[in-house]
Structure 1
Amino acid sequence: MVRKASIMFVHKDQYKEYKRRHNEVWPEMKKELKAHGVKNYSIFLDSKTGRLFAYLEVEDEALYEKIAQTEICKKWWAYMEPLMETDEDNSPVSIDLQEVFHLD
């Protein structure tokens, strides 16, 4: 299992909507995440800055990276784009974090 963490950014006036949309994640998006080996996916909000800390575990990084090419992922990004800082393809601006410690 590979542990992954990243930081993303939600607009300060969109916290409630961001949470609402994630509370109602589409079943087909959940299915696609699981099909791409995602486990234990959590996102945490720093309400002072709008920074989001995402943590997930994946079975295989190469398999996980393929999710970005799926239609449902692209649809989800477009749905979330008004709420977040995004790249030109609507993917969230994301900073990958390097693991420096883990207690098993």
Structure 2
Amino acid sequence: MKKVAFKMQLHQGQVQEYQKRHDELWPELADLLKSVGVEDYSIFFDEDTHALFGVLKIEDPSRLEELPQHAVMQKWWKYMGDIMDANPDNSPVSVSLKEVFYLP
């Protein structure tokens, strides 16, 4: 399994809403993520910068490129776009992070 890490930016004052929406994650979105091989997915919040840090495991990271083609993913992005930085296609502005340390 390969780890994939990234950061996104939450708008000021939106952490409770972000948490609520993820607590109520749509089953069809969870199924989609699992169908491309996503496992052990966590998102962390930095209170000082409002940055979100995502980490997930996946056998083949190139399968993540399939996600934008699915209607449920596009619907989720639109749903989340009002509380976080988003691109014109509603996808979250996401910056890949490079692993610099790992302790197995």
Counterpart-to-counterpart distance in 2, 1:71 and 1:90? 12
Counterpart-to-counterpart distance in 2, 1:61 and 1:53? 17
Identity rate, percent: 45
1:101 is paired with a residue whose SS is coil
2:22 is paired with a residue whose SS is helix
2:45 is paired with a residue whose SS is strand
Which 5+ residue runs of structure 1 have no aligned equivalent? none
User: What TM-score do you get using the length of structure 1 for normalisation?
Assistant: 0.96
Structure 1 position 60, deviation (Å): 0.8
Which string of whole-angstrom CA distances, capped at 9 and with x for unpartnered residues, describes residues 34-70 of structure 1? 0010001000001121100100011211222211211
Which residue does 1:79 correspond to in 2? Answer: 79
Structure 1 position 84, deviation (Å): 0.3
Computed over aligned residues only, the root mean square deviation of the Cα atoms, in angstroms, reads: 0.8
Which residue does 1:12 correspond to in 2? Answer: 12
Runs of 4+ aligned residues of structure 1 deviating over 4 Å after TM superposition are none
1:20 is paired with a residue whose SS is helix
Which string of whole-angstrom CA distances, capped at 9 and with x for unpartnered residues, describes residues 8-49 of structure 1? 001112111000000110000000000010001000001121
Which residue does 1:28 correspond to in 2? Answer: 28
Check whether the contact 2:4–2:61 (CA below 8 A) recurs between aligned residues.
no
Aligned length: 104
Structure 1 position 92, deviation (Å): 0.6
Which residue does 1:41 correspond to in 2? Answer: 41
User: What TM-score do you get using the length of structure 2 for normalisation?
Assistant: 0.96
Check whether the contact 1:12–1:49 (CA below 8 A) recurs between aligned residues.
no
Structure 1 position 95, deviation (Å): 0.8
1:42 is paired with a residue whose SS is strand
Which 5+ residue runs of structure 2 have no aligned equivalent? none
